[in-house]
Structure 1
């Protein structure tokens, strides 16, 4: 149930799950481990999420697709938040080194996924040729 539209919209967990194409269970788990805390709670205690929460969840989904651990995901989210903040002092050499490390890992993981996809395409082509 959306109570508002646009950047100020408020969603219950079901709508967040639908918009993100993620399960309620996963979203609840991300809340439990601190990756995605709801922006608020209804009078009945239901989790309430904003458009910013949806954006964060979609970012989590992108990071998860590369196989990063929950701990790495939290660290990557923190780095992104730090570098996107208006606080120039938060942009330290240590943060940049961590960012570079995660970028390198992400590139390596993407390459591995591309290799898997190419192998998948090969077997699909073989199966399709046999099915004719």
Structure 2
């Protein structure tokens, strides 16, 4: 039993090793992204060392723009003994399309603002029927 206790990490140790705040770890557990394997007599969560791998995966997947729901779906595939790489590839391809669309929208907005600024005129008197007639045309 002593050997097993050494392999289990308290939530504070998981936070220290992963850099993920305790509150976030609890939240991830409530979403089913991670699971505590046991509780101490005092009620503290205990985790196996593989939770660090899962937390690192979650952080990286979030950095790549995947939502926690998408990550949960991927982890379910993994937990059922299948490699989730095809699912991840599909989700990242979708993200890439979304990013390309956002870039198009931003370039269009940039062009519109640039056009407004190129013909900018300072108005000395307060207009009656608009706040700034230049952008309200």
Contact between 1:40 and 1:47, CA under 8 Å: does it hold in 2?
Answer: yes
- Of 6, 9, 12, the residue aligned with 1:11 is 9
Q: CA deviation at 1:103?
A: 3.9
Coordinate RMSD, CA, aligned:
2.8
CA change 1:104–1:24 in 2 (3 A) is: same
Q: The residue matched to 1:35 in structure 2 has which SS?
A: coil
Q: Distance in 1 between matches of 2:22 and 2:37?
A: 16
Stretches of structure 1 that go unaligned for 5 or more consecutive residues are 113-132
Stretches of structure 2 that go unaligned for 5 or more consecutive residues are 101-137
| Alignment coverage as a number of residue pairs | 96
Question: Alpha-carbon deviations, 1:35-57, whole Å to 9, x = none?
Answer: 11111111111100111112111
Q: Which residue of 1 aligns with 2:125?
A: none
TM-score of the two chains, using structure 2 as the length reference: 0.58
Q: Distance in 2 between matches of 1:96 and 1:63?
A: 12
CA change 1:61–1:78 in 2 (3 A) is: same
Q: CA deviation at 1:31?
A: 0.9
Runs of 4+ in 1 over 4 A off after TM superposition: none
Q: Which residue of 2 aligns with 1:32?
A: 30
Q: CA deviation at 1:81?
A: 3.6
Q: Is it true that 1:98 corresponds to 2:96 in the alignment? A: no
Question: Alpha-carbon deviations, 1:110-129, whole Å to 9, x = none?
Answer: x88xxxxxxxxxxxxxxxxx
Q: Distance in 2 between matches of 1:59 and 1:48?
A: 19
Contact between 1:40 and 1:49, CA under 8 Å: does it hold in 2?
Answer: yes
Contact between 1:79 and 1:99, CA under 8 Å: does it hold in 2?
Answer: no
Question: Alpha-carbon deviations, 1:84-129, whole Å to 9, x = none?
Answer: x3xxxx67xxx776344124246x39x88xxxxxxxxxxxxxxxxx
Contact between 1:39 and 1:53, CA under 8 Å: does it hold in 2?
Answer: no
